[in-house]
């Protein structure tokens, strides 16, 4: 991104500078009212961390199967998208924008000259709220009905125009035109606002001392304001007396004190607040255990929820990222003729404890599905000599031979 690098090179910025954060694609003007709601924030956080912790790899489908190509130039670029962000931070930021705004835009800066011309040089996150999509139905930019991405920079007012193939566009799964996604916060505006109001109500409840901290003093007759204030101060001094711990409060004849106790259970605050939280989380595909809601749940329920989150929530997100990255960062020749594609290392999500991994890999090796060195690589162990072989139980025979009455010791249909 030449215009971006020139600005950073000629000026000095601090990490707290709003302009630098904006240039890096970090929204400095995001309203805190939505992200401040705990359920909404938890959903955004879970989805962003899910994307950020899964490494991307370059795969080539050939005669040998799905082979990971770590020598492909894109492998290192995906590990470090640009000089200022690591892979984890970059993709977490993209996912946060995608969920919060409904769309996330990444500019693919390519090398213009030299033997690496056309290769991805760096990836830059554009501020979502400053990007608009134009359909050039009149052919003003040279191609009719072409889709263009226009970035109107707020600070300088400069406008940058990008072709469709220069932008990686990640959107939510909810779209009315297939081009732009709808933000969950806009669709669930009432539910998110209700949850936020619930938090504000709880805060005010604590601050006002309504948890058994107030009482009504009843009496007959009239007392002037000065005497009333003095009486209240006297009663409060008894309630704070260290000797009696506030258990005994003397009252004049004819006076009666009635405490005000408004409990959360009577207002069904917990039930209503939890119901609202589950509604918001359900829209994001987040499971109850990820919100720390464990009502009568056991380990198997939590495990099934985690598996369900991977199958019904994460896989759809992974697939969209894989398709968009492969389409925009790999050439047509690499995709259609050489069988290249970009994939997430989803096994990182499914890996259990070390014992489970060893048992799983051991079974795959015993069944001839995985070579010894492949299994050792999966476990993060060094390869060994003569480990690139497939093993199998030599007593196994085809079912057809069993039907013909031939056992594994017999050869050639019953010959000794």
**Which of 13-22, 36-45, 71-80, 151-160 shows the lowest mean pLDDT across its residues?**
13-22
Give the pLDDT score at 360. Answer: 84
Total-model pTM: 0.67
Any bridge partners for residue 216, and if so which?
A: 258
Q: Residue 17: pLDDT above 80? A: no
Domain coordinates in residue numbering, the chain:
2-185, 191-264, 351-411
What's the pLDDT score for residue 205? Answer: 57
- Specify the pLDDT at position 58: 92
Please tell me which of 44-48, 306-310, 357-361 the model is most confident about, judged by mean pLDDT: 44-48
Lowest mean pLDDT among 20-34, 52-66, 141-155: 20-34
What is the sign, positive or negative, of the torsion defined by CA atoms of 56, 62, 65, 71?
negative
Question: Does 366 or 36 have the greater pLDDT score?
Answer: 366
CB 140 within 8 A of CB 32: no
Closest CA to 42 of 285, 316, 313, 294: 285
Q: What is the DSSP string of 23-91?
A: HTT--SS--HHHHTSHHHHHHHHHHHHHHHTSPEEEEEEETTEEEE-TTSHHHHHHHSSBTTB-HHHHH
22-36, 309-323, 342-356 — most confident range? 309-323
If you ran DSSP here, which 8-state letter would residue 142 be given? S
Q: Report residue 243's pLDDT band, with 50, 70 and 90 as the boundaries.
A: low
Which segment of 184-188, 228-232, 245-249, 327-331 scores lowest on mean pLDDT?
245-249
Rounded to whole angstroms, how far apart are CA atoms 183 and 268? 30
Measured distance CA(284)–CA(131) in Å, rounded: 24
pLDDT tens figures, 264-300: 444 444 454 565 777 778 888 888 878 877 665 555 6
Query: Residue 174 CA to chain centroid, in angstroms?
Result: 16
Residues forming beta bridges with residue 85, ordered by sequence position: 82
Backbone angles phi, psi at 249, to 5 degrees: -125, 110
Main-chain phi, psi angles of 376, to 5 degrees:
-65, -40
How many Å is the Cα radius of gyration of the chain?
A: 32
Q: Are 249 and 215 in contact (CB under 8 A)?
A: no
Q: At what angle do helices 189-208 and 38-52 cross, to 10 degrees?
A: 120
Angstrom CA distances, 240 to 206, 230, 248, 261, stand at 19, 16, 10, 19
- Region for 125 from its dihedrals, namely left if φ exceeds 0, alpha if ψ lies in -120 to 50, beta otherwise: beta
Supply the pLDDT for residue 269. 46
How far apart are alpha carbons 127 and 105 in whole angstroms? 8
| Lowest-confidence pick of 86-100, 116-130, 185-199, 204-218 | 204-218
Query: pLDDT confidence of 415, banded at 50, 70, 90?
Result: very low
Residue 324 has pLDDT above 80, yes or no: yes
Q: What is the mean pLDDT of residues 304-319?
A: 85
The secondary structure element, H or E, covering residue 311 is none
SS3 state at 116: coil
> For all residues of the chain together, what is the average pLDDT?
76
Looking at residue 126, what is its pLDDT?
95
Q: Mean pLDDT, to the nearest integer, of 87-101?
A: 94
Does residue 30 carry a pLDDT above 50?
no
Rounded percentage of the chain residues whose pLDDT exceeds 90: 25
Which of 321-353 are b and which e, b meaning 16 or more Cβ less than 10 Å from the residue's Cβ?
Answer: bbebbbebbbeeebeeeeebbbbbeeeebeeee
CA 82 to CA 104: how far, in whole Å?
17
Question: Which comes out higher in pLDDT, residue 217 or 75?
Answer: 75
Q: What angle do CA 404, 405, 406 make, to 5 degrees?
A: 95
């Amino acid at each position: 991104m030449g215009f971006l690098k020139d600005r950073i090179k000629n000026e000095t910025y601090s990490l707290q500078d709003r302009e630098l954060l904006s240039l890096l694609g970090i929204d400095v003007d995001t309203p805190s009212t939505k992200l401040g709601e705990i359920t909404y924030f938890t959903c955004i956080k879970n989805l962003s961390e899910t994307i950020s912790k899964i490494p991307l790899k370059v795969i080539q489908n050939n005669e040998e199967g799905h082979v990971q190509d770590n020598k492909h130039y894109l492998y290192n670029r995906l590990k470090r998208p640009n000089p200022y962000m690591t892979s984890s931070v970059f993709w977490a930021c993209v996912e946060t924008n995608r969920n919060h705004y409904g769309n996330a835009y990444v500019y693919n800066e390519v090398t213009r000259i030299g033997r690496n011309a056309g290769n991805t040089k760096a990836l830059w996150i554009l501020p979502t709220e400053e990007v608009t999509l134009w359909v050039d139905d009149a052919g003003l930019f040279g191609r009719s009905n072409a889709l263009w991405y226009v970035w109107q920079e707020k600070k300088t007012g400069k406008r940058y125009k990008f072709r469709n193939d220069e932008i990686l566009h990640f959107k939510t799964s909810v779209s009315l035109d297939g081009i732009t996604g709808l933000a969950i916060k806009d669709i669930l505006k009432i539910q998110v606002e209700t949850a936020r109001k619930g938090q504000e109500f709880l805060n005010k409840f604590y601050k006002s001392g309504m948890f058994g901290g107030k009482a009504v003093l009843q009496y007959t007759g009239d007392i002037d304001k000065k005497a009333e204030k003095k009486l209240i101060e006297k009663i409060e001094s008894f309630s704070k007396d260290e000797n009696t711990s506030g258990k005994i409060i003397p009252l004049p004849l004819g006076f009666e004190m009635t405490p005000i106790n408004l409990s959360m259970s009577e207002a069904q605050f917990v039930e209503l607040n939890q119901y609202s939280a589950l509604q918001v989380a359900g829209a994001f595909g987040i499971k109850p255990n990820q919100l720390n809601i464990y009502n009568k749940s056991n380990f198997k329920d939590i495990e099934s929820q985690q598996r369900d989150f991977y199958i019904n929530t994460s896989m759809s997100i992974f697939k969209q990222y894989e398709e968009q990255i492969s389409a925009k960062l790999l050439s047509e020749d690499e995709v259609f003729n050489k069988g290249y594609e970009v994939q997430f290392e989803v096994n990182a999500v499914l890996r259990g404890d070390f014992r489970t991994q060893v048992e799983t890999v051991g079974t795959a090796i015993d069944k001839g599905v995985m070579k010894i060195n492949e299994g050792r690589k999966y476990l993060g162990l060094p390869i060994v000599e003569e480990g690139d072989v497939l093993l199998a139980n030599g007593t196994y025979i085809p079912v057809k031979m069993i039907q013909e009455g031939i056992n594994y010791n017999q050869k050639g249909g019953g010959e000794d």
